[in-house]
């Protein structure tokens, strides 16, 4: 880690670097399944809730249609899913697993343990880090809402509380 500089003190850079490092650890494992990391996240949702709509996928992944549409097209081209217009409401597109998409599930189930082992983190460590990050994200999203200026202390407190749990 060569950053003896200003970057070391930027929390946003740390998040950015950590996220890319984590994705890099997943990459070789997911490549064996023919998936990228965003594609893997989408498949995780689909394995849990087949037939989900694009809108619901977007809410869970925090991605818009501009990202999801081409992503779904690539997964459909790879044979892992199918997209069907919902009959009752033809605006909605339902995403369904194919047999090939189902098959992938068993192989993918080993991945979380492989990642945890690669990073050498205990389940407790992972859960704790995960919880803290979820609260950071919540605080940051709250800062983006239109009324953020009106309630400047709402989100921060939840993060502060979360971090104090560790001290």
Partner DNA sequence: ATCCAAAAGATTGTGCACAATGAAGTTGCG
Partner DNA sequence: CGCAACTTCATTGTGCACAATCTTTTGGAT
Helix orientation angle between 123-144 and 154-164, rounded to the nearest 10 degrees: 160
Interface pick for its own copies out of 77, 99, 117, 146 (rule CB under 8 A): 117
Q: Identify what 161 binds: DNA, its own copies, none; CB under 5 to 8 Å per kind.
A: none
| Polymer length in residues for the chain | 167
Distance CA 38, CA 62 (A): 11
Q: Identify what 137 binds: DNA, its own copies, none; CB under 5 to 8 Å per kind.
A: its own copies
21: contact with its own copies by CB under 8 A: yes
Q: Is the dihedral of CA 49, 113, 81, 65 positive or negative?
A: positive
| Interface of this chain with its own copies, residues 38 to 57, rule: CB under 8 A | 41, 44-45, 47-49
| Interface of this chain with its own copies, residues 64 to 103, rule: CB under 8 A | none
| Interface of this chain with its own copies, residues 125 to 144, rule: CB under 8 A | 125-130, 132-134, 136-141, 143-144
| CB 96, CB 82: distance < 8 Å | yes
Distance CA 120, CA 113 (A): 10
Chain contacts with DNA (rule: CB under 7 A):
16, 20, 23-24, 27, 36-39, 53-55, 58, 62-74, 83, 88-93
10: contact with its own copies by CB under 8 A: yes
Angle at 26 between CA 21 and CA 30, to 5 degrees: 150
């Amino acid at each position: 880690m060569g950053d003896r500089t200003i970057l070391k003190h930027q929390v946003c850079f740390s998040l950015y670097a950590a996220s890319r490092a984590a994705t890099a650890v997943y990459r070789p494992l997911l490549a064996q399944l023919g998936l990228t990391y965003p594609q893997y996240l989408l498949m995780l949702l689909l394995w849990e809730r087949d037939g989900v709509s694009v809108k619901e996928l977007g809410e869970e992944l925090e991605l818009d249609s501009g990202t999801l549409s081409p992503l779904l097209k690539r997964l459909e081209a790879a044979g892992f899913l199918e997209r069907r217009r919902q009959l009752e409401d033809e605006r909605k597109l339902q995403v369904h697993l194919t047999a090939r998409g189902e098959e992938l599930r068993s192989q993918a189930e080993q991945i979380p343990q492989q990642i945890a082992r690669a990073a050498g983190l205990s389940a407790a460590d992972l859960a704790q880090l995960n919880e803290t990050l979820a609260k950071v994200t919540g605080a940051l999203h709250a800062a983006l809402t239109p009324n953020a200026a009106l309630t400047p202390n709402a989100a921060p407190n939840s993060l502060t509380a979360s971090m104090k749990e560790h001290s």
